[in-house]
Amino acid sequence: QVQLVESGGGLVQAGGSLRLSCAASGSIRCNNAMACWYRQAPGKERELVAFISRGRFTDTADSVKGRFTMSRNNAENTWYLQMNSLKPEDTAIYYCAARNTGDTVVYWGQGTQVTVSS
């Protein structure tokens, strides 16, 4: 049974930073999986923010390019999203999603709230 648990959200002023964590348990392994961070703001569609591949290739959405960085720690079996220079428009619930290599099932976390004040 796979479980993803996001943490690290909170309230921060514009220009500040937060580091989100996505801790994985069960059969999923960070070094043999890909993962993404999504976010959903009130009244808006879910948006893909960043992803990391099995080989640690990463990319981010244009809206967060240069400010957000996704990474992982294999020993901790955890994915991270480092968010710098936060803007009020970054306010959303952030979700982690991951899939094992060779599998089709995508697992989702419960989300963590990020609120950026002006």
pLDDT in tens, 15-67: 999 999 999 999 888 888 999 999 999 999 999 999 999 888 999 999 999 99
Which residue from 109, 113, 105 is spatially nearest to 4, judged by alpha carbons?
Answer: 109
CB 79 within 8 A of CB 71: yes
Distance CA 100, CA 30 (A): 8
* Pairing between β-strand 10-13 and β-strand 112-117 as defined by DSSP bridges: parallel
CB 46 within 8 A of CB 37: no
Tell me which DSSP letter residue 62 carries. Answer: G
Supply the pLDDT for residue 35: 95
